[in-house]
Amino acid sequence: MPLSALPSNPSLEQLKKQAKDLLKAHKAADPRAVLRLQQSLPELSEGSQGEILQTPFSLKNAQLVIASMALTGGPISSATSRRLQATVGASSRAKMRCPSS
Protein backbone atom coordinates (compact mmCIF):
# COMPACT_ATOMS: atom_id res chain seq x y z
CA MET A 1 0.00 0.00 0.00
CA PRO A 2 2.48 2.65 -1.16
CA LEU A 3 1.72 6.32 -0.69
CA SER A 4 0.95 7.62 -4.14
CA ALA A 5 0.80 11.03 -5.71
CA LEU A 6 -2.04 12.09 -7.98
CA PRO A 7 -1.16 10.80 -11.47
CA SER A 8 -1.05 13.11 -14.48
CA ASN A 9 -4.28 11.49 -15.73
CA PRO A 10 -6.20 10.91 -12.50
CA SER A 11 -8.88 8.27 -12.42
CA LEU A 12 -11.65 8.62 -9.90
CA GLU A 13 -12.18 4.86 -10.10
CA GLN A 14 -8.54 4.19 -9.17
CA LEU A 15 -8.79 6.53 -6.18
CA LYS A 16 -12.03 4.84 -5.08
CA LYS A 17 -10.26 1.47 -5.30
CA GLN A 18 -7.39 2.78 -3.17
CA ALA A 19 -9.89 3.96 -0.56
CA LYS A 20 -11.60 0.56 -0.49
CA ASP A 21 -8.20 -1.13 -0.18
CA LEU A 22 -7.30 1.13 2.75
CA LEU A 23 -10.60 0.31 4.47
CA LYS A 24 -10.00 -3.43 4.01
CA ALA A 25 -6.43 -3.06 5.28
CA HIS A 26 -7.66 -1.26 8.41
CA LYS A 27 -10.20 -4.02 9.05
CA ALA A 28 -7.45 -6.63 8.55
CA ALA A 29 -5.17 -4.83 11.07
CA ASP A 30 -2.50 -4.22 8.42
CA PRO A 31 0.39 -2.24 9.98
CA ARG A 32 0.80 -0.31 6.70
CA ALA A 33 -2.76 0.97 7.06
CA VAL A 34 -2.00 2.07 10.62
CA LEU A 35 1.07 3.96 9.42
CA ARG A 36 -0.88 5.64 6.64
CA LEU A 37 -3.58 6.74 9.09
CA GLN A 38 -1.00 8.05 11.54
CA GLN A 39 0.55 10.09 8.73
CA SER A 40 -2.75 11.33 7.32
CA LEU A 41 -5.04 11.99 10.27
CA PRO A 42 -3.72 14.49 12.80
CA GLU A 43 -6.02 13.12 15.51
CA LEU A 44 -4.41 9.67 15.15
CA SER A 45 -0.79 10.77 14.76
CA GLU A 46 0.03 9.96 18.39
CA GLY A 47 -2.17 6.86 18.65
CA SER A 48 -0.84 3.37 19.17
CA GLN A 49 -1.52 0.65 16.62
CA GLY A 50 -4.18 -0.82 18.90
CA GLU A 51 -5.91 2.54 19.40
CA ILE A 52 -5.95 3.21 15.67
CA LEU A 53 -7.35 -0.21 14.89
CA GLN A 54 -10.09 0.31 17.50
CA THR A 55 -11.05 3.67 15.97
CA PRO A 56 -14.21 3.50 13.84
CA PHE A 57 -13.13 3.94 10.21
CA SER A 58 -15.54 4.24 7.29
CA LEU A 59 -15.21 4.32 3.53
CA LYS A 60 -15.73 8.09 3.67
CA ASN A 61 -12.77 8.36 6.08
CA ALA A 62 -10.66 6.23 3.74
CA GLN A 63 -11.61 8.42 0.77
CA LEU A 64 -10.50 11.53 2.66
CA VAL A 65 -7.16 9.92 3.51
CA ILE A 66 -6.57 8.91 -0.11
CA ALA A 67 -7.60 12.35 -1.36
CA SER A 68 -5.27 14.08 1.06
CA MET A 69 -2.31 11.89 0.25
CA ALA A 70 -2.95 12.16 -3.50
CA LEU A 71 -3.24 15.94 -3.52
CA THR A 72 -0.87 17.07 -0.83
CA GLY A 73 1.18 14.09 0.27
CA GLY A 74 0.27 15.00 3.82
CA PRO A 75 -2.47 15.41 6.42
CA ILE A 76 -6.03 16.19 5.48
CA SER A 77 -6.90 19.82 4.95
CA SER A 78 -10.38 21.28 4.81
CA ALA A 79 -10.31 21.71 1.02
CA THR A 80 -8.84 18.34 0.06
CA SER A 81 -11.96 16.58 -1.18
CA ARG A 82 -13.16 19.64 -3.14
CA ARG A 83 -9.73 19.96 -4.79
CA LEU A 84 -9.77 16.28 -5.68
CA GLN A 85 -13.16 16.52 -7.36
CA ALA A 86 -12.14 19.65 -9.25
CA THR A 87 -8.86 18.14 -10.42
CA VAL A 88 -10.31 14.80 -11.49
CA GLY A 89 -13.36 16.48 -13.01
CA ALA A 90 -11.21 18.87 -15.06
CA SER A 91 -9.11 15.99 -16.34
CA SER A 92 -12.20 14.00 -17.32
CA ARG A 93 -13.72 16.98 -19.11
CA ALA A 94 -10.47 17.58 -21.02
CA LYS A 95 -10.39 13.94 -22.17
CA MET A 96 -13.96 14.25 -23.42
CA ARG A 97 -13.06 17.35 -25.48
CA CYS A 98 -9.85 15.82 -26.88
CA PRO A 99 -10.53 12.19 -27.71
CA SER A 100 -7.48 10.17 -28.69
CA SER A 101 -7.38 8.69 -32.15
Angle between helices 59-71 and 31-40 (to 10 degrees): 70
Model pLDDT for residues 47-65, shown as the tens digit of each residue: 999 999 999 999 998 988 8
* pLDDT higher than threshold 80 for residue 37: yes
* pLDDT-based confidence at residue 14 (cuts at 50, 70, 90): confident
- Report the SS3 class of residue 81: helix
Q: Of 14, 81, 67, 6, which is closest to residue 36 (Cα–Cα)?
A: 67
pTM given for the model: 0.66
Query: What's the pLDDT band for 24 if we cut at 50, 70, 90?
Result: very high
Concatenating the DSSP letter of every residue in 63-85 gives: HHHHHHHHHTSSS--TTHHHHHH
Given this model, what pLDDT does residue 92 score?
Answer: 42
Distance CA 23, CA 40 (A): 14
